[in-house]
């Protein structure tokens, strides 16, 4: 008998009190976009515990380098050069090998490259603002970018988003699918942001704040921020092979 159990169990139940609730009126758009009825609870079936696997051939050579992936040849994006790195783990502390991590962000002035973006800050002609990578066998990932600027947004009269990077992550099961945001250590806007404050627990908010990582900072080049992402853990499948009818 093998000592390693197949990775085919359902995931740990999601702690819904740790995540932001759907209805969080401080973030006004949630008011009409939040389901009002109770979610139907369902222990994961094959349809949720399985998920797509993205091969390394999906990813281009410079997809994880936002400083140059949109820049004209020989040019670079303007801004504070940073390395963002960390691990994709699951709740058991196990690295999620092969996780697809996608990220997007505003430029150094706080402006997104998007048709519907209206902020008056300048566009950087050499900055697209997105990238992606696949975590290695230990769940480790990294990318190079410039530090995004904070930006104002229409919610309250004077609401500003702290500097942040959006992350979309695929683990091994579709039930692990997660979108979140990374914030930067020391930013005073974090604690007054209505979107951050949809998360009820201060401890949970701290899990989204990347610390400055001087050990991985490259002298005379770029500072590093470390950001670990935790996806749901998988249950062991001790009881998966019971006989039919049990």
Query: Cβ of residue 6: shortest distance to other proteins, in angstroms?
Result: 6
Distance CA 243, CA 160 (A): 57
Of the candidates 184, 124, 195, the residue with the CA atom closest to the CA atom of residue 154: 195
Is 235 in contact with 173 (CB distance < 8 Å)? no
Distance CA 72, CA 127 (A): 9
Active site residue 164: yes
Among 134, 146, 195, 210, binds other proteins (CB under 8 A): 195
Pairing label, strands 130-134, 100-104: antiparallel
User: Would you count residue 20 as binding other proteins (CB under 8 A)?
Assistant: yes
Q: Which parts of 115-134 interact with other proteins (CB under 8 A)? A: 115-117, 128-130, 132
Catalytic residue among 27, 85, 111, 112: 112
Among 27, 141, 143, 225, binds other proteins (CB under 8 A): 27
Phi, psi dihedral angles at 196 (to 5 degrees): -60, -45
**Which of 91/187 has CB closer to other proteins?**
91
Site size with other proteins, rule: CB under 8 A: 90
Query: Cβ of residue 171: shortest distance to other proteins, in angstroms?
Result: 10
Active site residue 166: yes
User: Would you count residue 191 as binding other proteins (CB under 8 A)?
Assistant: no
| Pair of tokens at residue 195 | 């979107």
Catalytic residue among 27, 70, 141, 151: 151
Q: Which parts of 126-185 interact with other proteins (CB under 8 A)? A: 128-130, 132, 166, 168, 172-175, 177-181
Q: Which parts of 62-91 interact with other proteins (CB under 8 A)? A: 63, 69-70, 89-91
Active site residue 70: no
User: Would you count residue 217 as binding other proteins (CB under 8 A)?
Assistant: no
Residues near 116 by beta carbon (within 8 Å), at least 6 away in sequence: none
Among 207, 212, 223, 226, binds other proteins (CB under 8 A): 207
Distance CA 158, CA 160 (A): 7
Under DSSP, is residue 65 helix (H, G, I), strand (E, B) or coil?
A: strand
Distances from the Cα of 235 to the Cα of 112, 115, 159, 173, 195, angstroms:
40, 43, 41, 12, 31
User: Would you count residue 42 as binding other proteins (CB under 8 A)?
Assistant: yes
Active site residue 112: yes
**Which of 19/226 has CB closer to other proteins?**
19
Distance CA 51, CA 149 (A): 34
Of the candidates 172, 168, 171, 152, the residue with the CA atom closest to the CA atom of residue 160: 152
Between the two ends of the chain, the Cα-to-Cα distance in Å is: 22
Query: Cβ of residue 141: shortest distance to other proteins, in angstroms?
Result: 14
Active site residue 132: no
Among 79, 84, 99, 103, binds other proteins (CB under 8 A): 103
Annotated catalytic residues are 112, 151, 161, 164, 166
């Amino acid at each position: 008998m093998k000592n390693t159990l197949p990775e085919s169990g359902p995931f740990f139940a999601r702690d819904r009190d740790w995540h932001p609730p759907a209805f969080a009126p401080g973030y006004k758009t949630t008011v009409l976009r939040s389901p009002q009825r109770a979610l139907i609870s369902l222990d994961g079936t094959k349809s949720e515990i399985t998920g797509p696997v993205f091969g390394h051939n999906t990813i281009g050579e410079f997809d994880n380098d936002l400083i140059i992936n949109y820049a004209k040849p020989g040019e670079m994006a303007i801004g504070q050069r940073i390395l963002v790195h960390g691990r994709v783990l699951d709740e058991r502390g196990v690295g999620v090998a092969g996780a697809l991590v996608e990220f997007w962000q505003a430029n150094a002035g706080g402006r997104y490259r998007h048709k519907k973006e209206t902020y008056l800050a300048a566009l950087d002609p050499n900055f697209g603002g997105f990238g992606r990578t696949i975590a290695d066998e230990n769940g480790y990932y990294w990318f190079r970018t410039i530090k995004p600027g904070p930006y104002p947004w229409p919610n309250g009269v004077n609401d500003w988003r702290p500097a942040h990077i959006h992350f979309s992550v695929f683990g091994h099961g579709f039930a692990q699918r997660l979108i979140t945001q990374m914030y930067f250590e020391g930013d005073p806007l974090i604690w007054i942001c209505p979107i951050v404050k949809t998360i009820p627990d201060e401890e949970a908010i701290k899990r989204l704040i990347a610390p400055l990582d001087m050990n991985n900072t490259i002298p005379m080049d770029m500072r590093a921020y470390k950001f670990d992402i935790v996806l749901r853990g998988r249950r062991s499948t001790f009881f998966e092979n019971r006989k039919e009818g049990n």
